[in-house]
Amino acid sequence: MPEYNKMELMICLAARYLEDGSTVVVGTGAPCAAAMLAQRIYAPDLMVLFEAGGFGPLLPSMPISVGDSRTFYRGLVAGSMPDIMEHCQRGMVDYTFLGGAQIDMYGNINSTLIGSDYQRPQVRFPGSGGANDLASLCWRTMMITPQDRRRFTPKLDFITTPGYLTGKGAREAAGLPPGTGPYKVITDLCVIGFDEETKRMKVESVHPGVTREQIQANTGFELLWADDLGTSEPPTEEELRMLRQEVDPYRYVIGRG
């Protein structure tokens, strides 16, 4: 079995969820690496979109921002942010990847601040950008993140981006499109989905060498567990070769694993 680090595992697992012919809005970093890997192995007709307006580029190398010229390379359209958001609003985007400082059991995300005082927070983050729009309008939201109790918290200091809000039916009651919402959270310990009835986080597979106790200890709330709990499939030699030689040869992303 080839050796790999945690970041490589998370990227490979994320890439496998992107079906051929689907559409995905990504930012830079691990989500972009997952989309590039998927295009090269599993989903040659994957439509990748970037918030700054790139539609369907064939990424030659890792871009450093969503407005990098590479996000338009051999693309279908050199559009704008309103074009991307309109595409999402029309229900034409299957997936989006988001990040944040905190996430709760319903997949709500905080990327705004840490602390109880909005005017004088302990830490202030960049905020939503397009994250709220993307999570509200794309069909399925995914997240790639390390797992620890500070990040996986029972109560967010600020809700930047809606997940399932307070549980089943809450998104729809708030006016968000039915059928949208969090899909997978891929961490360095496990893959988490969401329970159909409660909309709470449910662990679906455990990474090799990781225990249930370790996963729960790194989570600030009680997790649900799938009845058919599996073991995450490690990266293949082909995935690692492509990831290391073509997707991220300078190790901008996988070097952080």
The region of weakest confidence among 29-38, 41-50, 63-72, 108-117 is 63-72
DSSP string, 55-72: ES---SS--SSTTSGGGG
End-to-end CA distance of the chain: 18
Q: What is the DSSP string of 163-191?
A: SSTTSTTHHHHTTPPTT-EEEEEEESSEE
Strand order in the sheet with 181-187: 77-78, 54-55, 47-50, 23-26, 95-98, 140-145, 181-187, 190-194, 201-206, 224-231
What pLDDT band is residue 2 in, cutting at 50, 70 and 90?
confident
pLDDT score of 154 more than 80: yes
Just give the CATH number of 6-256: 3.40.1080.10
Q: Is the pLDDT of residue 173 over 90?
A: yes
Write down the catalytic residue from 8, 51, 204, 239. 51
The pLDDT value given to residue 256:
84
Mean of pLDDT values over 192-202: 98
The DSSP symbol for 5 reads -
Q: Where are the domains of the chain?
A: 6-256
Would you state the pLDDT for residue 17? 98
Going 174 to 180 to 186 to 189, the CA torsion angle's sign is: positive
| Cβ(30)–Cβ(55) below 8 Å | no
> Rounded to an integer, what distance in angstroms lies between the CA atom of residue 239 and that of residue 11?
10
CA 110, CA 89: separation in Å to the nearest integer?
Answer: 22
Report whether pLDDT(249) > 90. Answer: yes
**87 within 8 A of 103, measured Cβ to Cβ:** no
104 near 130, Cβ under 8 Å? no
Percent of the chain with pLDDT over 70: 100
51 is catalytic: yes
Q: Which amino acid is at 181?
A: G
